[in-house]
Amino acid sequence: MARAATTSDVFNAIAEPQRRQILVLLRAGERPVTELAQELGMTQPGTSKHLRVLREVGLVRDREAGKQRLYGLNADGLRPIHEWTGGLEQFWNDSRDRLDRYVQDLNDSQQEE
């Protein structure tokens, strides 16, 4: 089965490590493409292509500010990722709690000996 195009699916779009890094950089606030490219060690056209994909799937928004275009995170676009990872977070929290209880039970039984 063929994968969905990266421009139509949030999860395919963030499968690319450089796009995830762009999202991390944008957590601090809006930034121009030139600044993002420099931080990533990429060319401006390469960074622009990644930003276009992120914008098309709704993870990034842009606005004009004078002669430059600023890119920032789009909270609404991040919602599907947050909801999906939230379920996994609950799984890991439950697993960690079970492990903590198991270790505590082992410690208790060793102290009784």
3-class secondary structure, 44: helix
Is the model more confident about 57 or about 87? 57
**Total structural domains in the chain?**
2
Please indicate, yes or no, whether residues 56 and 40 belong to a single structural domain of this protein. yes
pLDDT the model gives residue 107:
85
Give yes or no for residue 4 having a pLDDT over 70: no
Please indicate, yes or no, whether residues 65 and 22 belong to a single structural domain of this protein. yes
Please indicate, yes or no, whether residues 54 and 90 belong to a single structural domain of this protein. no
Question: Can you give the C-alpha Rg of the chain in angstroms?
Answer: 21
Per-residue pLDDT reduced to its tens digit, 33-83:
999 999 999 999 999 999 999 999 999 999 999 999 999 999 888 888 888
3-class secondary structure, 101: helix
Please indicate, yes or no, whether residues 47 and 27 belong to a single structural domain of this protein. yes
pLDDT the model gives residue 5:
52
Please indicate, yes or no, whether residues 58 and 4 belong to a single structural domain of this protein. yes
Please indicate, yes or no, whether residues 93 and 49 belong to a single structural domain of this protein. no
pLDDT the model gives residue 92:
83
Is the model more confident about 71 or about 110? 71
Per-residue pLDDT reduced to its tens digit, 88-101:
888 888 888 888 88
Domain span at residue 7 reads: 1-73
Please indicate, yes or no, whether residues 57 and 79 belong to a single structural domain of this protein. no
Is the model more confident about 60 or about 111? 60
Tell me, yes or no, if the pTM score tops 0.75: no
pLDDT the model gives residue 61:
96
Provide the CATH number for the domain around residue 33: 1.10.10.10
Please indicate, yes or no, whether residues 58 and 35 belong to a single structural domain of this protein. yes
Alpha helices, DSSP H only, in 9-112? 10-13, 17-26, 33-40, 44-56, 75-112
